[in-house]
Copies of this chain bind each other. A is one copy, B any other.
Amino acid sequence: MEKVNVHEKLEMISSYWDPKIAGELNGQHVKLVKFKGEFVWHKHENEDEMFYVIRGSFTMKHRDGEKKINENEFIIIPKGVEHCPYAEEEVWVMLFEPAGTLNTGNTESNFTKSDPARI
């Protein structure tokens, strides 16, 4: 039952779009990730996904528009909804999602990380 310092963990992450597992509860994972640049459009058939911004900001594009998510804000993308995160500058994000959620959902790409490491 160790506590986790989210900033310290994020400082250890040197790659973008490469989520690390920082905690697990009730079959869900808490992941930490840095975004920079544009990701791929994708959706998750069975998983809702929460993005909470720890530092910086990013834009969540979806098919009906886009939304800028700033520090201390979160957005929940429901299952089945196509989305594409875009970050002009580096942003630190905490994700909540079911264990086993693939970062690129239904879109196989160079960004796909099928077995995220723990941090």
Q: Which residues of A contact B (CB under 8 A)?
A: 1-7, 23-26, 28, 30, 47-50, 52, 54, 62, 67, 69-70, 72-78, 81, 94, 96-98
Q: A1-B78, A3-B67, A50-B30 are in contact. Are A25 and B96 (CB under 8 A)?
A: yes
Q: Cβ of A49 and Cβ of B75 under 8 Å apart?
A: no
Q: Cβ of A72 and Cβ of B96 under 8 Å apart?
A: no
Q: Cβ of B25 and Cβ of A54 under 8 Å apart?
A: no
Q: Cβ of B96 and Cβ of A28 under 8 Å apart?
A: yes
Q: Cβ of A26 and Cβ of B97 under 8 Å apart?
A: yes
Q: Cβ of B25 and Cβ of A74 under 8 Å apart?
A: no
Please measure, in the bound complex, the distance between the C-alpha atom of A25 and the C-alpha atom of B70, giving whole angstroms.
20
Q: Cβ of A6 and Cβ of B73 under 8 Å apart?
A: yes
Please measure, in the bound complex, the distance between the C-alpha atom of A50 and the C-alpha atom of B94, giving whole angstroms.
13
Q: A30-B50, A50-B30 are in contact. Are A75 and B25 (CB under 8 A)?
A: no
Please measure, in the bound complex, the distance between the C-alpha atom of A5 and the C-alpha atom of B54, giving whole angstroms.
12
Please measure, in the bound complex, the distance between the C-alpha atom of A6 and the C-alpha atom of B75, giving whole angstroms.
11
Q: Cβ of B98 and Cβ of A26 under 8 Å apart?
A: yes
